[in-house]
Amino acid sequence: MSKSLREALVGAWKLVEYSIEDKNKQGEKFYPLGKDAAGFLMYTPDGYVSAQMMASGRPSYANGHIHTGTTEEMAKAAKGYMAYSGQYEVDEETNTLTHHMEVSMNPTWLGQAQERFVKLEGNTITISTAGNHAVLVWKRAEDHAK
């Protein structure tokens, strides 16, 4: 018996690619965090999701302290980072997920429920959105618990 989509999602996933397809220029991609973006996506068995993505090569704050960078340093750091967490739901019939934004780097997302389309192939999942055509490809992260 094969696993349900929900069961197959549980665990940690490492970002392979995050792109947005240009609706007006078929086939053209934009990479919001660069082609070498890094990130992790985690689904827990009890229904929580956490997504963290960042642009590679973001500079450290000059003073080295987490909360005391200059306004410019903090703005650059935030521009190159995306993160949110909250509960998730799976619709097995339509292969869709709903991510509930309970905490978010982007305050605009707080309280939102965002639908995602998911395609699972082996150890790779492709998650996409309807509106802006964001496509995120993730590979199952290595198991370090062994």
User: How much is the pLDDT for 130?
Assistant: 76
Is 44 part of any domain? yes
Question: Full-prediction pTM beyond 0.85?
Answer: yes
User: How much is the pLDDT for 91?
Assistant: 96
User: How much is the pLDDT for 41?
Assistant: 98
Cβ atoms within 10 Å of 134's Cβ, excluding its own: 16
In angstroms, the CA 78 to CA 55 distance is 10
Q: Is the pLDDT of residue 9 over 70?
A: yes
User: How much is the pLDDT for 88?
Assistant: 98
Q: How many separate domains does the chain show? A: 1
Q: What is the DSSP letter of 111?
A: T
Compute the radius of gyration of the chain from its Cα atoms.
Answer: 16
Q: Tell me how far CA of residue 70 lies from CA of 1, 61, 73, 77, 84, in angstroms.
A: 55, 8, 5, 11, 24
Is 125 part of any domain? yes
Give the helix, strand, coil percentages of the chain, each rounded to 5: 10, 45, 45
Is 145 part of any domain? no
> 47-102 pLDDT, tens per residue?
999 999 999 999 888 888 888 889 899 888 889 999 999 999 999 999 999 999 99
Residue range(s) defining the domain that contains residue 95:
5-140
Identity of the amino acid at 55: A
The domain that contains 66 carries what CATH number?
2.40.128.280
Q: Tell me how far CA of residue 77 lies from CA of 39, 54, 66, 80, 98, in angstroms.
A: 15, 9, 11, 5, 27
End-to-end Cα distance, the chain: 25
